[in-house]
Chain A
Amino acid sequence: MLNPILAFSATRRMRSFRTMLIVIAYMAALMLIALFVLSPFLKDEILLSSLGRSPMAYLVLLGVQFVMLLLIAPAMTSGSIAGERERQTLDLLLVTNTGSFRIVMGKALESFAVLALVIVCGLPVMCLCLLTGGISFGQILIGELFLLAEAFACVSVGVFCSALFRSTVVSAVMSYLVMGLIGVVTALPFLFGYPQRITDVLYDRALYAGLSEAGARAMISPVLYLNPGFGLLALAQGQLHLFTDAASRLGWGRIYATWLMGDRAGWVFVAMACAAGMIVASVALLGAASRLIRRKPKRKGT
């Protein structure tokens, strides 16, 4: 049987005006940005130099969606559990035979479904880049998959905060903070992690030449696979190879060392590993949230 919380919450969500507004606003923003980025192709004559803007348009649209999901998800999920508490309906759910994890998962999937809807709705806009060339449909689909993983991760952070904090507003604010914190903490190995084993490989040409893809993947810190920003960067690099020069010019060994490992490991693989890492971490976070929803309430009557 379909998760009743998912079915029920989705029904309520789709009846609300706010959901429609979110979808419309998201699509309008995406359309405007697409129009702006692809504007050179709307002119009567297209310059050769404009052709390079097509992959760039894809990257911008991907990045904009990435940021919009970060902004929308906490606002959407902050009330998922905290709202039930505020409405005094959580107890009524907890006394049913639906387990805590199922309740939390239902709430997460319901919010995720709306975000998945806006991502899928954004697909035709992304496909505008196909008209101008430089990107394939398969690449766009991989980008969409990555966004779906990111959306699920954002939703799980929101639901976790909603289970942890009693007020919807506090939960929303804390979701943004927690997401920022996760972004910074999981990026630390990229910025400061400089394991000796990477140095050894990089300074030994023979070792580096013989380094397999699997070996390079193992060299990258597992914590980095939980960073959505690193995932996006890996995806962009894997699909468009736009940052190679920039990375080498940075001259900051720590970043460049990891960068070289990414090159060897295969950036698209790294991006998909990030997506998988985010999903696994999200499920763990939802598991923790399911433990939190049965906490004792603030004592009001005895």
Chain B
Amino acid sequence: MLKIENLSKNYGGFSALKGLSLEIPDGALHGFVGPNGAGKTTTMRILATLMKPTSGTAYVDGTDVVKDGQKARKLVGYMPDFFGVYDSLKCWEYLDFYARCYRIGQAERKRMIGQLLELVQLEEKENEYVDSLSRGMKQRLCLARSLIHDPKLLILDEPASGMDPRARAEMKGILRTLREMGKTVMISSHILPELAEMCDSLTILDHGELVFSGSVDALADRMNGNAPLDIRMTEGCGEEQVEAAVRCLKEMPAVTEILREEPFLLRVRMAEGTDECAEVLRRLVIQGVPVRDFHRAPMNLEKVFMEVTQDA
């Protein structure tokens, strides 16, 4: 559905995007994560034909968004991170206006407006003025607007920003419905756990570069492989046994860092790509260290995000 090829964007001397390449399959709900300034909005604006890249291109359903913007606009629905609404306009008029801009016929417009207002749970607000809606409702109305021409790819730039928990939950519900409808959705956020909950796959950007792209599980696996080892010893064991354990670990080349988190808990970092957990445990047991618990420290997604983006 979406293929991004070596996309770069420079603003004067600043590189907002550095050769981003990416593919998103049909029907995927794809998360686009990165800290502020990572290049998410730039990528999305290029895909929405609002901006030309410095080099590279992207294809939506085979259509080049750089060379054939007019055709691409029919395929892409875009909801920006910040947007305004018109006053003196009712909800149905708001959607009707954008439907006209997409040159949709009157009968089709009427049908689509009804369906979309129902989808975003605003059917009761049909005849109310847009500026009287709450922020969450405006976000949902804008989502309906981006769907008015039945696009194949939906690009949502931080759709839940500034929403209260209830409004966020409602937005998530709508996105799940869209996935069930078979839409390909690309959604950005700088909060990884929020996206990981609902997305099939993720892309992590940092400083305009691709840091990770793949499924949420693949990201967790990758990060769990690098998660530190927590070694807990029997409470009440002597200090000399803890020190023996530390000495034993220091002798192992694969061990890069040893932290004493608690009196009887050691947190051990291993060099990336090494898998010597069994060897660590074997040596500790031979040394007579009373190991009570031995496991990889759990990595939550917030930590994963921090880990992934800190090196880029």
Say whether A95 contacts B73, CB under 8 Å: yes
A15 partner, pick from B36, B74, B78, B88, beta carbons under 8 A:
B88
Say whether B88 contacts A97, CB under 8 Å: no
Indicate if B89 sits at the interface (CB-CB under 8 A).
Answer: yes
Closest B-chain residue to A86, C-beta based? B84
Contact bitstring B25-45, A, C-beta under 8 A = 1, else 0: 000000000001111111000
Chain A residues near B36: list those with CB within 8 A. 301-302
Q: How large is the interface on A (under 10, 10 to 19, 20 to 34, 35 or more residues)?
A: 20 to 34
Contact bitstring B77-89, A, C-beta under 8 A = 1, else 0: 0101111111111
Chain B residues near A117: list those with CB within 8 A. none
A15-B88, A97-B101 given as contacts; is B83 within 8 A of A92 (CB)?
yes
Say whether B100 contacts A302, CB under 8 Å: no
A93 partner, pick from B17, B89, B93, B101, beta carbons under 8 A:
B101
Indicate if A296 sits at the interface (CB-CB under 8 A).
Answer: yes
A8-B100, A93-B101 given as contacts; is B48 within 8 A of A301 (CB)?
no
Shortest B54–chain A CB gap in Å is 11
Interface residues of A in 262-302 (CB under 8 A from B): 294, 296, 299, 301-302
Tell me the bound Cα distance from A12 to B36 in angstroms.
Answer: 36
Which of A87, A88, A97, A294 has the largest count of B CB atoms less than 10 A from its CB? A97
Interface of B is mostly: loop
Interface residues of B in 7-39 (CB under 8 A from A): 11, 16-17, 36-39
Say whether B102 contacts A89, CB under 8 Å: no
B38 partner, pick from A7, A87, A302, beta carbons under 8 A:
A302
Tell me the bound Cα distance from A294 to B74 in angstroms.
Answer: 18
Say whether A302 contacts B42, CB under 8 Å: yes
Q: How many A-B residue pairs have CB under 8 A?
A: 84
Shortest A299–chain B CB gap in Å is 6
A4 partner, pick from B37, B89, B101, beta carbons under 8 A:
B101
Say whether A97 contacts B37, CB under 8 Å: no
Indicate if A11 sits at the interface (CB-CB under 8 A).
Answer: yes
Tell me the bound Cα distance from A16 to B88 in angstroms.
Answer: 8
Give B residues with C-beta under 8 Å from A: 11, 16-17, 36-42, 48-51, 70, 73-74, 76, 78, 80-89, 93, 97-98, 100-103, 142, 145, 149, 208
14 new A-B contacts, CB < 8 A, other than A15-B88, A94-B49, are A4-B100, A7-B100, A8-B97, A16-B88, A87-B85, A87-B86, A88-B80, A94-B50, A95-B73, A296-B51, A301-B37, A301-B41, A302-B39, A302-B42
Give A residues with C-beta under 8 Å from B: 1, 4-5, 7-8, 11-12, 15-16, 87-89, 91-99, 294, 296, 299, 301-302
